[in-house]
Amino acid sequence: MIQHIKVHEVLQQSVAGFYADLVTRPTGRAVRESIERALPAGTIAVMDFTGVGCLDYSCADEIVAKLVREKVRVLLLRCTSDAHRDAIEPVLLGHGLAAVCERPDGTLHVIGAREPAAALLDELVAQHVAARTPGGAIALTAA
Amino acid sequence: MTRLVEVPSQFDDRSFDQFAAGYAQAASGGERLLFDAHAAEWASPYGLVGLLAAGEAAGRRAAGGERPLLTVPSSAEVVSYWARAGFFREAADLFEIHGKVPKTKPATESEVLLPVTPVRAAEDVHAVVSTIQQRASAILAKELGLDPKATMGFAMALSEACQNIVEHAGAGGWVAVQSYNWRRKLARRVVVIAVADAGVGFRHSLEPSQAKRFGDRWGDAAALEAALIQGTSRFRDPGRGQGLAGIRRYLARWEGKVAIRSGTARIAIVPKWDDDVPLRDGLPAFPGSQVLLIIPEQGSPQA
């Protein structure tokens, strides 16, 4: 089963004050801990960035990298902007990790370290969460 | 007895070492300090937040916590500008101010993207990032010719620069962001982010984890090199140290400059348009850390 995480909602619930930006380590830590409480280990999770403004490296590391490293089997990032990915990709690379990104047309690509990248898409296909499109790309089958 | 520290007439990162030398000499005794800015004609955001850091450090070291004195610029125009830049709002807590200060609210004019703003906790960083996104987007795109998407990267760089205070300084600090026409150096507009604190500085922050690795070379310059060039952090977590690396990446994309002064050293990533020295050591000692980020207007001819 795929777990869905709406990061903006978690942000609102995790920290005092109405923030749209995922910045600072304490904020990232609070958001990650909220996510972890609701997330069984070893799952495939979809993290939706709708409504998130700025994402800095500290939060990208605290939330995305630590969840990929310690909690989830595959993390699929949805509704990310170029700026979000600019923060996430170097952080993943620094850890030798990778995550799957969903493009606006629904097809998937991997960001981060090259070595684990191919295995991530294979895993999604093997779990029947994703399938090859007639054009040769990979897209989610449901979720 | 009061010891005098002169504020340079053109107070920016170039003249900061002259100011730091005056500070280091005056602060070596236990006397009360007088920061004399009467002859100041101009101050960059770096100068303004640096002066606040000096004021805080001077107040901390004074017997009985006596605040240092500050003589305001004699030019009404300069005083007005410092007021609109938000300087006096913060200075009022740190200095005994001598001279007439206009009761002006910090500006929302186009040049002052972010008035001098205190940074003490994560909440302050949130407020800074939120404000800058509202104020800077149009200016970065229209005046500097940056891709509108670059605004988010700008906010990210600003966030990381401010977080250095929260995470490492052990004291509060200040940030200011301004846009101005840099005729002297570039003949084009620039946006300048200045962040300063009077905290423990990079050497002290990194010493427990890095000093042994550097051996005899360990000092302020080595600490700055470790932080900015090698991306090391005082935390063992491998995800740490990404902030300054991210700032470097962002500035490289936009031909920007980053310079960090801490203790007796200063390090800079120098773009093609600048002639700064990458690493200086043996400078006059100054407390804490002072960070300068400059993003120039894109695509216009260089001076």
HEC assignment per residue over B184-212: CCCCEEEEEEEEEECCCHHHHHHHHHHHH
Helix orientation angle between B150-164 and A82-95, rounded to the nearest 10 degrees? 50
Q: Per the CB < 8 Å rule, is B152 touching A20?
A: no
Asked whether the beta carbons of B17 and B6 are under 8 A apart, the reply is no
**Considering only CB atoms, which chain B residues are within 8 Å of A70?**
none
Over range A15-19, report the average pLDDT.
80
Q: Provide the b/e sequence for B276-290 (b: ≥16 CB within 10 Å).
A: eeeebeebbbbbbbb
If you measure CA to CA, which chain B residue comes closest to A53? Answer: B152
Q: Per the CB < 8 Å rule, is A95 touching B160?
A: no
H helices, E strands: number in chain B:
9, 13
B107-303: which CATH number, 3.20.20.70, 2.160.10.10, 3.30.565.10, 2.30.180.10? 3.30.565.10
Candidate from A21, A87, A94 with C-beta closest to B126: A21
Candidate from B133, B243, B246 with C-beta closest to A54: B133
Q: Per the CB < 8 Å rule, is B159 touching A56?
A: yes
- How many Å apart are CA A16 and CA B201, to the nearest integer? 30
Amino acid at B30: G
Q: Per the CB < 8 Å rule, is B152 touching A17?
A: no
Residue B265: burial class (beta carbons within 10 Å; 0-12, 13-18, 19+): buried
Q: Per the CB < 8 Å rule, is A21 touching B243?
A: no
Q: Per the CB < 8 Å rule, is A83 touching B122?
A: no
Topology (CATH level 3) of domain B1-100: Transcription Regulator spoIIAA (3.30.750)
Q: Per the CB < 8 Å rule, is A54 touching B155?
A: yes
Annotated domain spans of chain B: 1-100, 107-303
Q: What's the token pair of residue B178?
A: 């301004």
Over range A101-112, report the average pLDDT.
93
Candidate from B129, B167, B249 with C-beta closest to A25: B167
**Considering only CB atoms, which chain A residues are within 8 Å of B123?**
17
B287 closest CA partner among B212, B163, B196, B217: B196
Q: Per the CB < 8 Å rule, is A54 touching B243?
A: no
Q: Which pLDDT score, from 0 to 100, does residue A143 have?
A: 56
How far B175 CA sits from the closest chain A CA (Å)?
16
If you measure CA to CA, which chain B residue comes closest to A29? Answer: B122
β-pairing, B173-182 vs B188-197, is antiparallel
**Considering only CB atoms, which chain A residues are within 8 Å of B175?**
none
Over range A106-131, report the average pLDDT.
89
If you measure CA to CA, which chain A residue comes closest to B238? Answer: A95
Candidate from B129, B167, B242 with C-beta closest to A21: B129
The string of pLDDT tens digits covering residues B81-127 is 999 999 999 999 999 999 998 887 766 666 778 999 999 998 999 99
Q: Is the pTM of this model over 0.80?
A: yes
How far A56 CA sits from the closest chain B CA (Å)?
5
Q: Which pLDDT score, from 0 to 100, does residue B108 have?
A: 62
**Considering only CB atoms, which chain A residues are within 8 Å of B159?**
21, 23-24, 54, 56, 58
Amino acid at B80: S
H helices, E strands: number in chain A:
6, 7
Which residues of chain B fall short of a pLDDT of 70? 106-110, 184-185, 235-236, 238-239, 300-303
pLDDT band at A142 (very low <50, low <70, confident <90, very high): low
Mean pLDDT of chain A: 91
**Considering only CB atoms, which chain B residues are within 8 Å of A21?**
126, 129-130, 133, 155, 159
- How many Å apart are CA B221 and CA A6, to the nearest integer? 44
Annotated domain spans of chain A: 2-140
Give me the total of CB pairs closer than 8 Å, taking one residue from chain A and one from chain B.
Answer: 91
ipTM of the complex: 0.84
Among A42-51, A104-113, B77-86, B177-186, the range scoring the smallest mean pLDDT is B177-186
> Which of residues 21 through 80 in chain A touch B, CB cutoff 8 A?
21, 23-27, 53-58, 60-62, 65-66
